Amino acid sequence: MNRIVVSAILVLLLMLFLTRIDFGGDGHVMAESMMALGFTLVVAYLAGKMIERFKLPKITGYLIAGILIGPYFLNLLSVEVVKNLQLIDNIALSLIALTAGGEFRFSAIKKQLRLINSAIFWQIIIVILLFTAFVLAYFKKISFLQNESFLVILGAGMLFGALSIAKSPATTIAVIAETRAKGPFTDFVLGVTVFKDVVVVIIFSIIIAFAKPMIMREEQIQLIYVLNVFIEIILSMIFGIAAGGIILLYLKYIKEQKVLFLLGFIIFCIEISHIFQLEVILIFMVAGIFVQNFSRAGQPLIEAIEEVSLPIFVTFFAIAGASLKLPVFLENWKLALYLVTLRLIGTYLGTNIAGRVNRSGDQIKKYGWMGFVGQAGLTLGLATLTLKQIPGPIGIGISTLIISSITLNQIIGPVLFKFSLHKSGEVRANN
């Protein structure tokens, strides 16, 4: 372990020295981005190894390393470099979604289907109600809502709720992959994560369709927006099945160079999804589910992904850490803390009620909620969409507060989830 610490410090010092040499000129950012990518990969991974010693998940180490080397702390990765490196986000998310789908076994989920649906239902209802009530009760403490009408405050409250129900599938998958957890508790969290990802997008589109006219003082509710989202989801699912079919045929008949094939195919699907405005995450989740449940190629698929997933996970989470907006968080930390607490309470209540209604085991009632705390890309994407749909101070205010709370949720989320997996006794890796 000492070697890892010393190596990490030495690489850090070398990078500090190198970034002090500034040449400027054309191609400089590209060169800096490349150097930064290699540096991030090594340092973040070593940070993950170090943090593992304290029984914390490695991805927390990657995230913390990202925050430390990012633009708001040591500034070894500038804002521009972070932006350049975010280009791999789509590839990383696609692989993560494929893994999520590939780990999703109907046979295992079938027994818990009622519980999963119930948990999603109660979490959504309770979180949205709690947030709306909170905003209605404390709007005077929220600067951008102080002088607004009841309808505007109600719309904002609903949006806060809609944005808070989203969770990070990437975090769930990364922690499950790291701990090699297997069992009903893991299946429950995975099931909720996969289904909720779809439900959240639908719920968000419905709520924004209602909240937008309330906040923007428009007369008409834009249901066409909801319809578009439905079409997008259905098309993404169809495309996901087709993608799964192609992966399946490849794994069955060609087999060679699986990693090269997967990377190429993912890039192809990302491009197609951009052209037809489809949901990349959904496409690959469905593709993974299809391969796992309608063939025997599920295991080879997971093995092929595992060959390449570690560097992608490390880079993805480190860059996610580096892109967390610390100044925004520091400006709004008190309100962010309220939002995080409220979300924790809502998630706990939702999961606990679902557990009681379905007479599930104590583990799900006690620790199930801990699997749904992490927040990252999806929430960030929805917050950006909010800003786009509701431009002006209220849109900015909502997205800023949500981004601030993502910082906290993403740090505590993996820790809580790993803890819950240990408590459930389903962890198989030697940590």
Residues at the interface with other proteins (CB under 8 A): 3-4, 6-7, 10-11, 14, 18, 21, 23, 25, 27-28, 30-39, 41-42, 45-46, 256-257, 260-261, 263-264, 267-268, 270-271, 306-307, 310-311, 314
Structure tokens, 72 = 């708001």
Task: State how far the Cα of 164 lies from the Cα of 406, in Å rounded to an integer.
Answer: 9
| Min separation Cβ 24 and other proteins, Å | 9
Closer residue to other proteins, CB minimum distance, 36 or 154:
36
Closer residue to other proteins, CB minimum distance, 125 or 272:
272
Closer residue to other proteins, CB minimum distance, 49 or 325:
49
The answer to whether 102 touches 305, Cβ cutoff 8 Å, is yes
Closer residue to other proteins, CB minimum distance, 28 or 141:
28
Within a 10 A sphere around the Cβ of 230, how many other Cβ atoms?
14
The answer to whether 336 touches 405, Cβ cutoff 8 Å, is yes
| Min separation Cβ 267 and other proteins, Å | 4
Closer residue to other proteins, CB minimum distance, 41 or 345:
41
Closer residue to other proteins, CB minimum distance, 250 or 329:
250
Within a 10 A sphere around the Cβ of 428, how many other Cβ atoms?
12
Closer residue to other proteins, CB minimum distance, 23 or 54:
23
Nearest to 96 by CA among 340, 299, 298, 266: 266
Q: Exposed, middle or buried: residue 338 (CB in 10 Å: 0-12, 13-18, 19+)? A: middle
Task: State how far the Cα of 102 lies from the Cα of 51, in Å rounded to an integer.
Answer: 28
| Min separation Cβ 214 and other proteins, Å | 38
Task: State how far the Cα of 272 lies from the Cα of 146, in Å rounded to an integer.
Answer: 44
| Min separation Cβ 66 and other proteins, Å | 14
| Min separation Cβ 101 and other proteins, Å | 21
Give the CA count within 13 Å in the CB-facing half-sphere of 251.
23
What single-letter DSSP state applies at residue 256?
S
Task: State how far the Cα of 77 lies from the Cα of 318, in Å rounded to an integer.
Answer: 11
Tokens 């505007």 belong to residue: 152
Residue count of the chain, please give it. Answer: 431
| Min separation Cβ 132 and other proteins, Å | 40
| Min separation Cβ 256 and other proteins, Å | 6
